[in-house]
Amino acid sequence: MTLSSRFTEALTYAAELHASQHRKASGEPYVSHLLGVTSLALQYGADEDEAIAALLHDAVEDQGGAVAREAIRERFGSRVVEIVDGCSDTDLSPKPPWRDRKKAYIAHLREATDSVRFISAADKLHNVRSILQEYRMTGPELWKHFGGGRDGTLWYHRGVVETLKQVAPSPIVEELDRAVRELERLAAQEP
């Protein structure tokens, strides 16, 4: 597949939209996450709309809610915005309680489209790999950066994996399962 100028436009838009945002634990520019998710999606066979949605998957949730949603629809079309919406656990500000949002998101994956499940798996895989990397550098102190702490973070990612394994088994879900198992293994060794 050859990516068109739409992808280039989405890449620039995502970088501009998230320019001031940083990752929770590492502090690295947030665009690194968007690029990582997009890279995984492309490696596992994303089409252009899915790749664009991977770049923009956090735009509605973190960078503008309904305004961002409509901008994405106008610029990149209904399919892209449907995937982005499906990957968002809220567009409200302030956000509802963490555990309630995560429970609803896991339940939502059962009814989501294949494209939403695919981009969600890429997102969670990149997140878990990033958590693993940071954990190896900082140890259990890492958990303080996450709304669900250690137990909630592990519960959430295991819930996503188990749901995706049931409704949309695929190579990327298998890889996500391996990454979550590694995180669980490390966490189980904590004092």
User: What confidence tens digit (pLDDT) does each residue in 130-168 have?
Assistant: 999 999 999 999 999 999 999 999 999 999 999 999 999
What per-residue confidence (pLDDT) applies to 51?
A: 98
Active-site residue, selected from the candidate residues 48, 50, 62, 123: 62
What per-residue confidence (pLDDT) applies to 115?
A: 98
pLDDT tens readout for residues 69-101: 999 999 999 999 999 999 998 888 788 899 999
Q: Which of 126, 101, 129, 105 is nearest to 117 (CA)?
A: 105
**CATH of residue 133:** 1.10.3210.10
What per-residue confidence (pLDDT) applies to 154?
A: 98
Active-site residue, selected from the candidate residues 48, 50, 58, 61: 61
- CA 24 – CA 144 distance, rounded (Å): 10
Coil vs helix vs strand at 189: coil
Confidence of residue 19 (pLDDT cuts 50, 70, 90): confident
DSSP 97: P
Confidence of residue 44 (pLDDT cuts 50, 70, 90): very high
- CA 27 – CA 109 distance, rounded (Å): 29
Answer yes or no: pTM beyond 0.85.
Answer: yes
CB 81 within 8 A of CB 72: yes
Can you read off the two tokens belonging to residue 78?
Answer: 């209904």
Tally of domains in the chain: 1
**134 given a catalytic annotation:** no
Amino acid at 177: D
Residue 78 sits in which domain range?
5-188
More confident residue, 62 or 13: 13
Can you read off the two tokens belonging to residue 170?
Answer: 């695929």
Rounded average pLDDT over 37-49: 98
For 62-94, the DSSP string reads HTTHHHHHHHHHHHH-HHHHHHHHHH-S---SS
**61 given a catalytic annotation:** yes
